[in-house]
Chains A and B, each alone.
Chain A
Amino acid sequence: MVTFQLEFQILEIQNKERLSSAVTDLNIIMEPTECSELSEFVSRAEERKDLFMFFRSLHFFVEWFEYRKRTFKHFKEKYPDAVHLSEGPSSPSIVIRSASQPGFELVIVWRIQIDEDGKVFPKLDLLTKVPQRALELDKNRAIETAPLSFRTLLGVLGIEAALESLIKSLRAEQNG
């Protein structure tokens, strides 16, 4: 749950035809811990005095935030040895490691972005960490093209299945 404090002023002007209202001042104060992914969005809302967009986008942001938390938690519980949450339960990224392949790491960063129009959408990226020797052996440049391939995989399988397949593929080395 996101907590914040909000102060705003509305100016209502009554002319003979109608009443028009406009927000003339908007201040949004958020806890620094929840702030990091939202800070740019909050400043933009304040600048534009867009009170309504703030609430609307915040709702969608929180939906995505909770979904990300649930998804990561699910994988952490399913594969406790392989999956690590670097920054705790609300971490925006997970690290996938395999005990049998100590030098290899896959980091999936899942950012929740809010664009100029207030639209909220996820942006996932794959980062790889491999030993130097492995890079040298990688003739097909699989590691280099991994981030791009991950994007394609996301498009085909969706977030959950894509993550599951990555975790499984790294763990497969253990058995085979």
Chain B
Amino acid sequence: MAGILAPGLTRTLRSLSPLAGQLLEKALGNLRWSRRTLYVQMASPKEVKASIANVEPNLAVEMSEQEVLEEKLENVKAVLQAYRFTGLSGKLTSRGVCVCINTAFEGNLLDSYFVDLVIQKPLRIHHHSVPVFIPLEEIAAKYLQTNIQHFLFSLCEYLNAYSGRKYQADRLQSDFAALLTGPLQRNPLCNLLSFTYKLDPGGQSFPFCARLLYKDLTATLPTDVTVTYQGVDALSTSWEEQRASHETLFCMKPLHQVFASFARKGEKLDMSLVS
């Protein structure tokens, strides 16, 4: 498994307007512009050559029209590809526009979803790949007809949050299975998680039970956290302190990062806790 820096993926984006609507228009505009320019230039190859000669008279290199056009096309393609990294991009279709929402969590690129819009009155969603448990109809009912930008950004929020929660749960299952004492229970929306875990997997202590509820579907941190400890010495201050501190940790940091800190601490386990 080799890591490769994909060629041409280091980009400098200058002065991008952050508004998705403008981005979309720009991306689409560029596409239209490039088509127009290509046609124009193909129609009059003599003029292309002449204009290059006029602008840079000292340039001895003679680029063929083909190369000039190819370079322009590559440039436009690169710009369009770069828009992917804003999280929201789109392309023209025969009916309207297909918007692609790319999700990520803290720099890790995750799944993409698309919404195919038909430009008609009223604006209509032709088809989409949004999971059924994301309230797409609700968001569309509120914003699609009146403020398409808000519709897209709102949908972005929900999808990114869902992706982020899913990512955290997946990482917990894959990277920290050793600390879990039972299966991770989760719902499709990944906003209700339930699991049991131990800080010292081989040890004699009882496991902690955690329940994480994410009431805010646009958030990647839980709103309600309950950690319980059922051991016989549950009332001892050291266990109570741990339990309470875990509750706080789960509220403040992503799930897999909390477990990473558990794993690190586990390497220097304080034997006085195990009585």
Contact = CB atoms under 8 A, between A and B. Distances in A.
A41 B218 CA distance: 18
Contacts of A48: 106-107
Given A5-B12, A14-B2, A51-B104, 15 more contacts: A4-B15, A7-B10, A8-B10, A9-B10, A11-B3, A12-B9, A13-B3, A51-B85, A51-B86, A52-B87, A52-B104, A53-B104, A59-B153, A62-B19, A117-B219
A49 B106 contact: yes
Interface residues of A, number: 36
Contacts of A2: 18
Interface of B: 1-6, 9-20, 85-88, 102-109, 153, 156-157, 160, 218-221
Q: Which 5 A-B pairs have the closest CB atoms?
A: A49-B107, A23-B107, A21-B109, A52-B87, A58-B18
Contacts of A1: 17
Contacts of B4: 12-14
Contacts, number: 99
B156 A56 contact: yes
A6 B18 CA distance: 12
A21 B167 CA distance: 13
A117 B221 contact: yes
Contact of A20 (B2, B103, B109, B220): B109
A10 B81 CA distance: 13
B153 A60 contact: yes
Given A48-B107, A117-B219, A119-B219, A9 B5 contact: yes
A116 interface: yes
A148 interface: no
A9 B10 CA distance: 5
A10 B160 CA distance: 18
A22 interface: yes
B220 A117 contact: yes
A52 B159 CA distance: 12
7 contacts: A6-B12, A11-B3, A11-B5, A49-B106, A55-B18, A55-B87, A62-B18
Given A14-B4, A117-B219, A3 B15 contact: yes
B190 to A, nearest CB: 15
